[in-house]
């Protein structure tokens, strides 16, 4: 995935991205960190063409993100939104998971098969016949992930995946993400999650990427964190995680 | 009008009525209510037949009569109004327990009560045996425009979420001592409503982004190809035919 | 007591139910076509969520006076926020689902329930909104003020419409005069609640996302910041409306409307040899029985009904013209 010189401003004039360059190799897991308003979500929405840059380019593999290509781009990039309720808009979870592949033209038995395997990948077979508003936060999160997996993507982009999860939910999430052999971009405020999941991290501030490197190295730089309004949780000791 | 109990509208059972295809049920329900509504009120026997038919449906659907009775409370305000009619209506009167009640008024009360209660009962059986998204799907099969049904579907999906947000806002407001009794104190409610509208609107934009992200290009994919079979239609039409015969007999004999 | 909203089956006779159903279907077909062209497909989830919002808002009663409560109809609000045709479609969906899925309103009553609770208050309310927008200053205050009047008027129009439907298809021998006074009187009061809530809600939306208010899309930044409403205009306008309103309603409430009748006789409006056969044929015997001066009542009903129809037609005409322009031209 390649983002080059992307700039973007909102209709009311606010500049959100001021020249972003990012390259993510296949199979990498990259965390995107930064203060509120840095442009993280805006960047994510460029990755599947919901937003188009005013200048610069985005391409996913060999597919440039342009009007004519959007269906293919959206198959390759699966976006998991911050609020799962926004992603579960059909009467039943089964219908939501089927929505994506159905839009790609998959029908009949093959559609059912895709739904089944997507739900199995998140241990969510039991959720199929339930309506979204009856699910717990963690169940919704898993269902939302399934809706995206059903499209057989190459890249997964997560916007604050641990935001409404309790401890067990978080553990399940990490396990699920570690088990998925796909390129992953994880936007998060949850620094321990970033550390646990992503070997590489970038920090965004005011529409630009200001740091890019090894996650542990970035989190160990107290000045860097302070500059970008990031803070390790109370009592969290990086040193305590030194592996042998 | 308790939408927070929308799952309490549907009774989870496995009856023949539950299994019937939604489009057949919607047609049957509508048709039945129309037939009941055009039946002349003097044919009291006809309404007894209808009541028996509805009772039969309730039993067939494995729904309890108590459940239907509770849901029938929705027509209570009109029952009250109807009961007043003989007292305020004009026309020749009859002595009942020392009170002069209008004869026409009494017939009118009967008319409204019978049709409102029977009509509502049919509707209640429909919703008890058919989940709302299925009702909407049935409407779509019956050629209701897709713009209509897709808006309805989103409405039903997000109704509970929004009703809850509204309830929470009011709870938060009243726990801070806000207890409006006069309209002049309604300002905070209205502002909360306005804020909720904006939040709802913004959610709508996000949902649309989510739909686009999963390949939506303007037309909703059809996920359910099931259609009512000939025998299901036969069941629905036979019910309507029976009711129709009753109505015609009533019309002819009164 | 909001008795005639969400009316059950049997409330009006089958003939009226059928005619209003046909009218509603025709207008709905039109509104759907308009809405389709106005709604980008992004707006479908939007419209659905707005419908949910209106549905939820209708569930909460607000106090009208000590002890009495009313609830929001929301049609005028929907028209002002989303545009009249989209508003009509959205509120219609609310009414239909309420009937179909919640047994709130009879299935055979959908014809007049949709007409009274969606079509008339949305299109008619929008017409009143535009009228007052043209009189009030071009500012946030002006939009809020126009919303208040439009919302009030929309509720009263719905009540008038129902009363006139009662005239044609009453199922009970309750005279039209009584129904008219009771319905319109009560709803004039409830309309105040609708006015307050609708206008404040629009104000709240204008404060954070003015781009979301269809009825204010012609305002620029400076005008949006202007939140003063010319109190004087309001008071004069409100007083005029109240006067006219009281005059009309009182004619039904008084048994001997000497003043108006005298004038009417002078001008030949009431013909002493009037043939009532036509009136008897069209209007349900019930509804005109017991009225001391039938012709006068029917005449006033006719005038008031015509005004409501004009307002609705104006709303429909406006929405057609707006969609043809399809830009942010001055409202």
> Cα separation of C144 and C149, whole Å?
9
Confidence at residue C116, expressed as pLDDT on a 0 to 100 scale: 94
Mean pLDDT across A211-236: 82
> Cα separation of A87 and C107, whole Å?
34
**Predicted confidence band at C257 (pLDDT cuts at 50, 70, 90)?**
very low
The reply to whether B223 touches chain A by the CB within 8 Å rule is yes
User: C124-138, C194-208, C307-321: which has the highest mean pLDDT?
Assistant: C124-138
Distance from CA of A5 to the nearest CA of B (A): 23
Lookup result for tokens 């293919």: A72
Burial C224-235 (b: 16+ CB within 10 A, else e): beeeebbeeebe
Confidence at residue C326, expressed as pLDDT on a 0 to 100 scale: 56
When computed from its CA atoms, the radius of gyration of chain B, rounded to whole angstroms, is 23
**Predicted confidence band at B2 (pLDDT cuts at 50, 70, 90)?**
very low
Mean pLDDT across B214-221: 82
Of B75, B108, B163, the CB nearest to C173: B108
* Mean pLDDT value across chain B: 83
Task: Pick the more confident residue, A134 or C123.
Answer: C123
The reply to whether B96 touches chain C by the CB within 8 Å rule is no
Q: What is the pLDDT of residues A39-74, one digit of tens each?
A: 888 889 989 888 888 888 888 888 888 888 888 889
Confidence at residue C245, expressed as pLDDT on a 0 to 100 scale: 65
Beta bridge partners of A59: A2, A64
Q: Does the pLDDT value for residue C94 go beyond 90?
A: yes
Of C68-72, C106-110, C167-171, C279-283, which gets the smallest average pLDDT? C279-283
Which domains, from first to last, does chain C contain?
A: 14-325 (1.10.1760.20)
H or E stretch at C266: helix C258-266
The reply to whether C19 touches chain B by the CB within 8 Å rule is no
Q: Does the pLDDT value for residue C256 go beyond 50?
A: no
Confidence at residue C152, expressed as pLDDT on a 0 to 100 scale: 93
**Predicted confidence band at C121 (pLDDT cuts at 50, 70, 90)?**
very high
Task: Pick the more confident residue, C226 or C175.
Answer: C175
DSSP annotation of A125 reads G
Cβ pair B158, C52 in contact under 8 A? yes
Q: C-alpha A192: how far from its chain's center?
A: 16
Q: Does the pLDDT value for residue C129 go beyond 90?
A: yes
H or E stretch at A55: strand A55-60
Q: Nearest-CA neighbor of A220 among A241, A205, A204?
A: A241
Q: Does the pLDDT value for residue B1 go beyond 80?
A: no
Of A171-185, B170-184, C63-77, which gets the smallest average pLDDT? B170-184
| CB–CB contact C44 B150 (8 Å) | yes
Between vectors from CA B236 to CA B231 and to CA B242, what angle results, nearest 5°?
Answer: 120
Q: Does the pLDDT value for residue C275 go beyond 60?
A: no
| CB–CB contact C56 B163 (8 Å) | yes
Contacts of B111 (CB under 8 A, 6+ apart): B41, C10, C171, C172
**Predicted confidence band at C270 (pLDDT cuts at 50, 70, 90)?**
very low
Confidence at residue C273, expressed as pLDDT on a 0 to 100 scale: 38
Confidence at residue A115, expressed as pLDDT on a 0 to 100 scale: 92
Q: Does the pLDDT value for residue C2 go beyond 50?
A: no
* Pairs of CB atoms within 8 A across A/B: 76
Cβ pair C49, B204 in contact under 8 A? yes
Q: How far is CA A22 from CA A2, A42, A193, A211, C103, in A?
A: 6, 14, 21, 11, 56
CATH fold of the domain at A2-83+154-241: Rossmann fold (3.40.50)
Q: What is the pLDDT of residues C196-206, one digit of tens each?
A: 888 888 888 88
Task: Pick the more confident residue, C115 or B41.
Answer: C115
Cβ pair C171, B111 in contact under 8 A? yes
Confidence at residue A207, expressed as pLDDT on a 0 to 100 scale: 86
The reply to whether B219 touches chain A by the CB within 8 Å rule is no
> Cα separation of C217 and C233, whole Å?
23
Q: Nearest-CA neighbor of B58 among B5, B14, B17?
A: B17
Burial class (CB in 10 A: 0-12, 13-18, 19+), C197: buried
Mean pLDDT across A5-13: 78
Q: How far is CA A212 from CA A3, C105, C155, in A?
A: 14, 62, 61
Mean pLDDT across C207-230: 78
Q: C-alpha A28: how far from its chain's center?
A: 13
Confidence at residue C327, expressed as pLDDT on a 0 to 100 scale: 47
* Mean pLDDT value across chain C: 78
Of B19-33, B84-98, C61-75, which gets the smallest average pLDDT? C61-75
The reply to whether B153 touches chain C by the CB within 8 Å rule is yes
Domain boundaries defined on chain B: 3-138+227-253
Q: Does the pLDDT value for residue C25 go beyond 90?
A: yes
Cβ pair B157, B36 in contact under 8 A? no
The answer to whether the pTM exceeds 0.80 is yes
Confidence at residue B83, expressed as pLDDT on a 0 to 100 scale: 82
H or E stretch at C311: helix C294-325
Q: What is the pLDDT of residues B25-69, one digit of tens each?
A: 999 999 999 999 888 888 889 999 999 999 999 999 988 899 889
Q: Nearest-CA neighbor of A152 among A192, A181, A109?
A: A181
Of C7, C98, C173, the CB nearest to B105: C173
**Predicted confidence band at C88 (pLDDT cuts at 50, 70, 90)?**
very high
**Predicted confidence band at A187 (pLDDT cuts at 50, 70, 90)?**
very high
User: A157-166, B190-199, C220-229, C289-298: which has the highest mean pLDDT?
Assistant: A157-166
Q: Residues in chain A whose beta carbon is closer than 8 A to a beta carbon of chain B?
A: 45, 48, 50, 71, 74-75, 77-79, 81, 83, 85-87, 89-92, 95, 98-100, 102-104, 131-134, 147-148, 151
Q: Nearest-CA neighbor of A194 among A31, A67, A55?
A: A31
């Amino acid at each position: 995935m390649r983002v080059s010189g992307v700039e973007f401003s909102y209709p009311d004039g606010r500049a959100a991205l001021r020249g972003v360059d990012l390259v993510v190799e296949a199979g990498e897991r990259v965390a995107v960190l930064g203060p509120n308003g840095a442009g993280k979500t805006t960047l994510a929405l460029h990755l599947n063409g919901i937003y188009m840059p005013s200048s610069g380019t985005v391409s996913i593999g060999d597919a440039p993100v342009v009007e004519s290509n959007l269906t293919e781009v959206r198959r390759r990039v699966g976006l998991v939104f911050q609020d799962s309720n926004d992603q579960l808009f059909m009467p039943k979870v089964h219908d939501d998971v089927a929505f994506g592949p159905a839009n790609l033209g998959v029908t009949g038995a093959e559609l059912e098969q895709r739904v089944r395997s997507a739900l199995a990948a998140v241990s969510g077979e039991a959720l199929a016949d339930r309506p979204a508003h009856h699910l717990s936060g963690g169940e919704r999160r898993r269902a939302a992930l399934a809706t995206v997996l059903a499209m057989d993507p190459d890249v997964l982009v997560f916007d604050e995946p641990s935001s409404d999860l309790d401890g067990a939910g978080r553990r399940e999430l990490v396990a699920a993400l570690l088990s998925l052999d796909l390129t992953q971009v994880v936007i998060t405020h949850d620094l321990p999650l970033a550390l646990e999941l992503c070997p590489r991290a970038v920090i965004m501030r005011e529409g630009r990427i200001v740091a890019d490197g090894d996650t542990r190295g970035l989190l160990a730089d107290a000045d860097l964190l302070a500059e970008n309004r990031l803070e390790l949780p109370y009592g969290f000791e990086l040193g305590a995680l030194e592996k042998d | 009008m308790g939408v927070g109990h929308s799952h309490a509208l549907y009774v989870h059972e496995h009856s023949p009525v539950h299994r019937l295809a939604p489009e057949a049920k919607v047609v049957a329900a509508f048709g039945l209510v129309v037939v009941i509504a055009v039946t002349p009120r003097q044919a009291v026997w006809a309404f007894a037949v209808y009541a028996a038919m509805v009772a039969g449906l309730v039993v067939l659907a494995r729904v309890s009569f108590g459940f239907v009775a509770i849901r029938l409370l929705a027509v209570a305000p009109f029952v009250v109004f109807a009961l007043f009619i003989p007292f305020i209506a004009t026309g020749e009167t009859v002595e009942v327990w020392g009170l002069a009640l209008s004869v026409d008024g009494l017939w009118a009360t009967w008319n409204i009560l019978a049709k409102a209660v029977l009509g509502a009962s049919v509707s209640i059986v429909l919703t008890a045996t058919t989940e709302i998204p299925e009702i909407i799907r049935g409407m779509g099969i019956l050629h209701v425009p897709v713009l209509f049904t897709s808006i309805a579907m989103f409405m039903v999906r997000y109704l509970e979420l929004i009703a809850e947000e509204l309830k929470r806002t009011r709870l938060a407001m009243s726990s801070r001592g806000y207890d409006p009794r006069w309209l002049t104190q309604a300002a905070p409610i209205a502002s909360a409503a306005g804020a909720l509208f904006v939040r709802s609107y913004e959610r709508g934009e996000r949902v649309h982004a989510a739909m686009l992200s999963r390949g939506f290009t303007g037309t909703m994919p059809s996920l359910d190809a099931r259609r009512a079979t000939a025998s299901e239609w036969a069941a629905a039409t036979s019910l309507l035919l029976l009711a129709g015969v009753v109505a015609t007999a009533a019309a002819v004999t009164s | 007591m909001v008795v005639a909203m969400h009316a059950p089956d049997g409330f009006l006779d089958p003939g009226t139910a059928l005619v209003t159903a046909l009218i509603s279907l025709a207008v709905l077909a039109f509104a759907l076509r308009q809405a389709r062209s106005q709604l980008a497909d992004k707006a479908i989830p939007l419209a659905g969520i707005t419908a949910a919002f209106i549905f939820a808002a209708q569930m909460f009663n607000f106090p009208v006076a000590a002890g009495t409560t009313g609830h929001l109809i929301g049609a005028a609000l929907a028209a002002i926020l989303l545009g009249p045709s989209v508003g009509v479609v959205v509120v219609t969906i609310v009414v239909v689902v309420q009937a179909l899925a919640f047994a709130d309103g009879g299935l055979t009553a959908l014809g007049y329930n949709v007409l009274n609770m969606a079509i008339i208050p949305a299109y008619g309310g929008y017409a009143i909104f535009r009228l007052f927008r043209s009189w009030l200053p071009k500012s946030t205050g002006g939009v809020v003020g126009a919303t208040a009047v439009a919302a009030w008027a929309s509720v009263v129009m719905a009540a008038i419409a129902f009363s006139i439907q009662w005239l044609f298809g009453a199922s009970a021998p309750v005279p039209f005069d009584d129904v008219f006074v009771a319905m319109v009187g009560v709803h004039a009061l409830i309309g105040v609640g609708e006015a307050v809530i609708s206008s404040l809600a629009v104000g709240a939306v204008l404060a954070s996302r003015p781009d979301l208010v269809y009825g204010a899309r012609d305002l620029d930044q400076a005008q949006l910041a202007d939140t003063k409403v010319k109190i004087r205009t309001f008071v004069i306008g409100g007083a005029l409306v109240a006067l006219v309103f009281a005059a009309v309603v009182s004619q039904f409430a008084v048994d001997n409307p000497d003043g108006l009748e005298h004038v009417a006789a002078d001008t030949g409006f009431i013909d002493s040899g009037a043939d009532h056969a036509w009136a008897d044929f069209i209007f349900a015997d019930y509804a005109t029985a017991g009225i001391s001066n039938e012709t006068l009542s029917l005449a006033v009903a006719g005038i008031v009904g015509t005004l409501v129809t004009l307002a609705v037609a104006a709303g429909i005409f406006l929405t057609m013209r707006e969609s043809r322009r399809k830009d942010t031209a001055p409202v």
